[in-house]
Chains A and B, each alone.
Chain A
């Protein structure tokens, strides 16, 4: 049983207490990839959110940027046991995108260029908790790290932050994505150490 909470204490966690159980601090940013790196030009880039009616809500690169790019400083936690603290990102809040989407479905499948998928409850994408990230550590997101744009959901293990994001599909149930089908946890909260199902 834990005697601490993850609630908003108004006090910044010290590094050792910012590490979820089973994690090790890294300084460099490891590249994890389950396939070749897709090359996606921002001129051709498009993000689609498909609702249950089959309607596609679309944004090209300029339209995404026009929604408003935020500075974000967050810790990231990979299920392969490394954590990187205090990373500076820039991106567009998913709240801005979902303002334009009406859906009763409560689950989302993220789709990436290259075929990768991962599932998320909608509530994990809203409320200032998730972004379409376009920059990291002061630079445009490198293709090896998912550029030009990746999902950033830092409160869940980093496999949920899908690289090379191209679309979100609303789902009535929490169907598993790529790693979730192969034994990884359906939700992936690092503070609960939800690595495997």
Chain B
């Protein structure tokens, strides 16, 4: 089977986008409604981008592509993403 990692694999690339730690955020799957920390998602790294899938239903939650000089981030598979505000 193709290998997958946990959602912590997103930490490095998403730190370029978010000031908060996204892997600690709670994500609600747009397909099945499962709500879990991003760190618990299944991330498939052996692909042209990082693909994060719901641990319960396999739905694509997020896609991150480093496309040359651009970073393309899709969170279309998420219903909500709940982040803690960074401490001042």
- Chain A residues within CB distance 8 Å of chain B: 30-37, 79-80, 115, 144, 159, 179, 181-184, 195-197
Contact = CB atoms under 8 A, between A and B. Distances in A.
A79 B48 contact: yes
B74 interface: yes
Given A33-B2, A34-B51, A36-B58, A184 B44 contact: no
Contact of A37 (B2, B47, B53, B74): B2
Contacts of A80: 48
B50 to A, nearest CB: 9
A32 B2 CA distance: 8
Contacts of B51: 34-35
Given A115-B60, A183-B72, A196-B68, A33 B46 contact: yes
Contacts, number: 58
B82 to A, nearest CB: 24
Interface residues of B, number: 18
Contacts of B53: 35
A115 B61 CA distance: 13
A32 B58 contact: no
**Which 8 residue pairs of A and B lie closest in terms of their CB atoms, listed nearest first?**
A183-B67, A33-B2, A183-B72, A196-B67, A34-B47, A34-B51, A183-B65, A182-B65
Contacts of B58: 35-36
Contacts of B65: 179, 182-184
Contact of A184 (B1, B46, B67): B67
A162 to B, nearest CB: 13
B83 interface: no
Given A115-B60, A182-B49, A182-B63, A35 B68 contact: no
- Name which of A30, A31, A32, A182 has the most chain B CB atoms within 10 A of its CB: A182
